[in-house]
A and B are shown apart, each in its own frame.
Chain A
């Protein structure tokens, strides 16, 4: 008991009687005399009837247990994802593999969007940190302003040729990307270029595609499910007999 009181009553003031700590008969303790030097415990100790400042209001009716508070209903012991009905979202994003590139999220957006924004100074971060100075409204361009948009004829330099890239319309099942006629080819190492060229040639060769189609047709002709083969098979089987 003395050790317990020493833990909670170790102050410059004279130790209050044990009843003040709530571990005795239910008698309100008398207020101690104020110390001459103005120690840390200048305020009278809180009684059981009055709640100490800063304590929860629910603690006022909790008897001698001043620091007792109501436990919150929602704690970390509950599954918060099910509590906030995020199971579908969790299964959608964490159950399946989410593709890494931005072009998978925005497939119809033209241009090379998978490149970092810092390369061509098109980052959203720079737009937030240094917003461009604009007027309050968008005014239509008048005839005299159009004089500034008179362009010279001829093609653009290769550095600026990015916006006319067509967005990919077909979903490629092949792992290797099919080269587009208008895409700028990124620089490749000499060791990989031959291998990739061979693979690209294999995939893009129209003659190879025709051969594949012909093979498929031949397979279908010789399959038992093919309607044309039923009569021929019957004739062949009858001839064997």
Chain B
């Protein structure tokens, strides 16, 4: 699974580097730079494929098929759009999950105490029925 991410990352890095070089060429354009610009943009026999913008986009598009099952939460995009580290989203998710886990555990522990008290009191009033309940529960789950 990591391989398909590595491929995509590699293609993206090459593409970004090509774009950056294009930006350098364009930032202070000279007449002699036109040939280099054309080589970066279009197909050329003498240069290697890694300098092509169009082929770079094609390579990135090919990676899409391998990643069709990957889902990204939209909330991560908000972090990126704000210029924040997306790992902060993972961190906050884990912290929220742990906090909710602790909260639910507290509720379960309280309900368990209530259950034991309720069984205790019901056993005084309905001994036979509670004996049946305990026998049924005892088969499925150990008494808490």
Contacts and interface: CB of A to CB of B under 8 A. Distances in A.
Contacts of A33: none
A71 interface: yes
A55 to B, nearest CB: 15
Interface stretch (A146-154, A190-198, A219-227): A146-154
Contacts of A114: 83
Interface in B1-40: 13, 16, 19-20, 23-24, 26-31, 33-34, 37-38
Interface in B88-121: 88, 90-91, 94-95, 97-98, 100-101, 103-105, 107-109
B43 interface: yes
Contacts of B124: none
Contacts of A58: 140
Contact of A71 (B30, B41, B141): B141
B51 to A, nearest CB: 13
Interface residues of B, number: 59
Main SS of chain B's interface residues? helix
Contacts of B43: 140-141
Interface of B: 13, 16, 19-20, 23-24, 26-31, 33-34, 37-38, 41-43, 52, 54-55, 57-58, 61, 74, 77-78, 80-88, 90-91, 94-95, 97-98, 100-101, 103-105, 107-109, 126, 129, 132-133, 136-137, 140-141
